Amino acid sequence: MVQAKNTADFRKSDSFLFDGGDAVKVTGTDASGNATYAKNDIRISGADAETYFSNLNGISESMIYNTSFVKLREIALSYPVLNKPSLGITMNVFARNILLWSELKGLDPEASQGNNNMSGAFERFSLPGSSSYGLGFTVKF
């Protein structure tokens, strides 16, 4: 099961308060029958974090993130070290997957099987992205 970061963080705690700014709870009614309110002080168990956030709304908006991203996939450079008619040597350097700017930190939207290979719009089965670097030489006789 995939967990949103905030539910994962709250699961580690014994309990937490809903951090909704001016969160209130109903404390009763006044003489006219109108509800009376007080600042929320009801603690939620860390084990109930996922259920709590899922029940905030019908479509789990608390777990929806913008998947727009900018990624530097590859950069490669080559430089001729030796260029003679009988021998040519070129040095090559490359780096892959070195920068990723995304709202959902730690997730590469291209690596998720749920966003493009399966039913779409779901993040699951993702492996951490890896970077690779290399140095090579091309020799021509």
pLDDT digits (tens, 9 = 90+) for 2-13: 455 666 777 777
Return the top range by mean pLDDT from 9-23, 97-111, 115-129: 97-111
**Residue 7: its pLDDT value, please?**
65
First to last CA, the chain: 56
Record the pTM: 0.47
pLDDT digits (tens, 9 = 90+) for 63-75: 666 777 888 989 9
Q: Residue 42: is its pLDDT beyond 50?
A: yes
Q: Residue 90: is its pLDDT beyond 80?
A: yes
| Rg for the chain, CA atoms, rounded | 27
**Residue 78: its pLDDT value, please?**
96
User: What share of the chain in percent tops pLDDT 90?
Assistant: 22
Q: Residue 117: is its pLDDT beyond 60?
A: no
